[in-house]
């Protein structure tokens, strides 16, 4: 789905990602984790075609990003960041409808299929009750849920998320990840998400990539990569890993330094 070869990118005078290579396969659920400044957001911007690489290449479904027109890319990848600067008071249902734009021809009116997709995406994100409210009048967590519905309404095979549930409360965050888990399992949606919450990643991501200072420290199946050695190397903090019987997956406790 996405091929990354010796990718280098960053900002004028400052290289953030220093030559990383990996593939994302169809139907994967991947978490990208690391401390602040490790390059997680920069990497996602490059994968989404927003930040041009200074070296290497990113290809989506076999086509290099620089050969894809914006509308073509928007039919392949939907992306959602943690801080969406929404200044115009659109009703939420219209915001979700914007996700259908990549599938519409110029001046094309909304179809029944478009309306059905929007209704379904608002239903599974439980945002129907927000449909007629102005998005600028919502809390940060509510805005993120509406924008998640918009991203899902793009009906792309790949979804890139950058801390896209950071403003949500625990209940809503877990609800959204359950939705993503179902879409990943039932529809083959490929999910790549930047997270700070290691325990949420352990619950839902089947693969984890740890970044530090723009380099890949570890990359592999969650159970194998989520080790005390890797976590202490990445976060420079003592950890305790346990596996609660009711959960059946590893969970992490970060310990204060001695």
Per-10-residue mean pLDDT, the chain, length 258 = 95 93 96 96 94 95 94 95 81 95 81 94 97 94 96 97 94 97 97 96 97 96 96 95 89 90
**Please, what are the domains in the chain?**
2-76+156-254 (3.40.50.300), 85-155 (no CATH)
Distance CA 211, CA 20 (A): 10
CA neighbor of 35 nearest in space, from 243, 230, 241:
230
pLDDT for position 83: 72
- SS3 label, residue 61: coil
pLDDT for position 87: 81
CA neighbor of 68 nearest in space, from 168, 158, 145:
158
What is the sign, positive or negative, of the torsion defined by CA atoms of 224, 230, 231, 237?
Answer: positive
Distance CA 8, CA 239 (A): 31
pLDDT for position 57: 95
pLDDT for position 10: 94
pLDDT for position 245: 83
pTM across the whole model: 0.93
- DSSP letters along 158-223, please? EEEEESTTTTS-HHHHHHHHHHHHHHHHHH--EEEEE-S-HHHHHHH-SEEEEEETTEEEEEEEHH
């Amino acid at each position: 789905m996405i091929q990354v070869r010796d990718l280098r990118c960053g900002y004028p005078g400052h290289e953030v990602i220093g030559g990383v290579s990996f593939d994302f396969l169809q139907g994967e659920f991947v978490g990208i984790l690391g401390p602040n400044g490790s390059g997680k957001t920069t990497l996602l911007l490059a994968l989404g075609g927003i930040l041009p690489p200074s070296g290497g290449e990113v290809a989506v479904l076999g086509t290099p990003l620089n050969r894809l027109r914006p509308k073509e890319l928007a039919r392949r990848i939907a992306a959602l960041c943690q801080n969406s600067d929404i200044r115009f008071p659109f009703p939420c249902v219209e915001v979700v409808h914007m996700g259908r734009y990549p599938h519409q021809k110029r001046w094309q009116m909304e179809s029944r299929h478009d309306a059905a997709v929007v209704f379904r995406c608002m239903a599974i994100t439980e945002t129907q009750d927000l449909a007629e409210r102005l998005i600028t009048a919502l809390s940060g967590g509510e805005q993120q849920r509406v924008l998640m519905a918009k991203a899902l309404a793009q009906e792309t095979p790949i979804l890139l998320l950058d801390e896209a549930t950071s403003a949500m409360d625990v209940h809503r965050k877990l609800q959204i990840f359950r939705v993503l888990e179902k879409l990943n399992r039932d529809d083959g949606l490929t999910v790549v998400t930047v997270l700070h919450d290691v325990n949420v990643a352990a619950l839902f991501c089947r693969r984890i990539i740890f970044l530090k200072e723009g380099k890949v420290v570890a990359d592999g199946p969650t159970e194998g990569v989520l080790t005390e050695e890797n976590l202490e190397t990445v976060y420079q903090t003592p950890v305790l890993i346990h596996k609660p019987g009711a959960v059946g997956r590893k969970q992490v406790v970060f310990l204060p330094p001695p």
